[in-house]
Amino acid sequence: MKSVALHSKLTRVLFKGFTIILFFAISLSSYSQDIDEARQKEGRSLFKSLCASCHKLDKKLVGPALAGVEERRDNAWLKAWIKNNAELRASGDRDAVAIFEEYNGSPMTAFPQLVDQQIDDILYYTTVGDPKAAVVAGEEGVVKNTAEAPGWLIYILAAAIIVAFLIIANLLKTISELKGAPKSQGTLANLNDVWEGFKQNTFLKVLCVIFLLLMAVYVGFGTLFKVGVDEGYSPLQPIAFSHKIHAGDNKIDCQYCHSSAKHSKHSGIPSVNVCMNCHKNISEVAEDTKIEWDGITYGKAELDKEIAKVYEAAGWDVDNLEYTGNTKPVKWVRVHNLPDFVYFNHSQHVTVAGLECQKCHGPVEEMDEMRQFSPLTMGWCIDCHKETKVDLKGNEYYKKIHDELAKKYNVDEVTIAQLGGKECGKCHY
């Protein structure tokens, strides 16, 4: 009877082990269910156009952080607040009044034109967040970041390994009891038996060593591949210059300040004289202007002081409206920095290929603090070159250069073979 009981116990151990593995697999796979990308995209688009000037998902801006707002507020209340928060406050709603008072009586813009479906899409976006694989759309094509293995898969593998180890350990203990070893009493005694069985089993030792070596290699290579990748790098600049105000709100073209990007290898850092083209007549910001800078909200008083730093650098006397000649450099901190062995030419991408700045630098018109948006790795560049279609023959700049060279060399069509490579480096490399 003892043998039968132990065989029955062995069956129970196996059954429980596989049940645990199945539970982990189902729970984690259900957790990683596919997101409704259409709703996410629509919600993100509406959020960026209507809400992003005052709200962020992950931190407070002018208004509160909105990530997971549906967990804090009822859906019907949120719709009423978004469509007409003034009317909701007038009705005596305590939550609406409390929020209004918390933000010093600053009214939120009402959106009565939004239908319920559009609001639901916005709320869905605040729940699921941005897509895992960043997508940057340009005029000539779309580039997607290289897909990474889903995180939940790692958890499933780790859980399977742990459960498998426990199953093997229990099997060893059960086999030992089948051979006549005394049955242990209590949890601690069972654990000691499992440990003793593990120490005496060469196969398990080798298996653990192999597993630890593989994990060390995995972690080591993962760490090495991150060396020099500064995605998200956002150094604090000496002047609180907001791209969101200049490129976003005021619609200043990127190449007005970074004019050398059209015809040079480098995009260039604008001199303070470029700033003075506008700020000679703009010495203060609007009353309601606010930006998020180094985790602090800057209002009119703080931002006017930042403009004063520009005047100090340019040597501009605000009272007498004249230059004093006492200038000083603005020590901007470089954000994007490629390795020395990399050759990148802005003019070939901006002028010849006609790419938007956002293709590499992301939505700078939405950034208060400038950050490195893309990884700028070699693989990322190669993916872009594979997927982006550039029609050089349809490019006006390309046609103009070819027409000038054809006229100069008295030929119908210019080719690299005809010129022996002369004067072709502007477009071909």
Q: Record the pTM.
A: 0.50
User: Which residues are CB-neighbours of 188 under 8 A, at least 6 positions away?
Assistant: none
Q: What is the CATH number of domain 37-144?
A: 1.10.760.10
Q: What is the pLDDT of residue 48?
A: 80
Q: Give the H/E segment covering residue 136.
A: strand 135-137
Q: What is the pLDDT of residue 298?
A: 94
Q: How far is CA 161 from CA 18, 19, 32, 166, in A?
A: 12, 14, 20, 9
Q: What is the pLDDT of residue 255?
A: 92
Chain segment 206-240, per-residue pLDDT in tens:
888 888 898 899 888 888 888 888 889 999 999 99
| Unique residue bearing structure tokens 């009586």 | 105
Q: What is the pLDDT of residue 130?
A: 81
In the predicted model, residues of the chain with pLDDT beneath 50 are 1-4, 6-7, 28-32, 133-149, 186
Q: What is the pLDDT of residue 95?
A: 87
All structural domains of the chain with their residue ranges? 2-30+150-224, 37-144, 243-387
Q: How far is CA 133 from CA 44, 129, 144, 239, in A?
A: 14, 12, 7, 32
Q: What is the pLDDT of residue 387?
A: 82
Q: What is the pLDDT of residue 32?
A: 45
Q: What is the pLDDT of residue 422?
A: 59
Integer Cα distance of 147 and 135 in angstroms: 11
Helix pair angle (116-128, 37-46), 10° resolution: 100
- Quote the tokens at residue 229: 């990748």
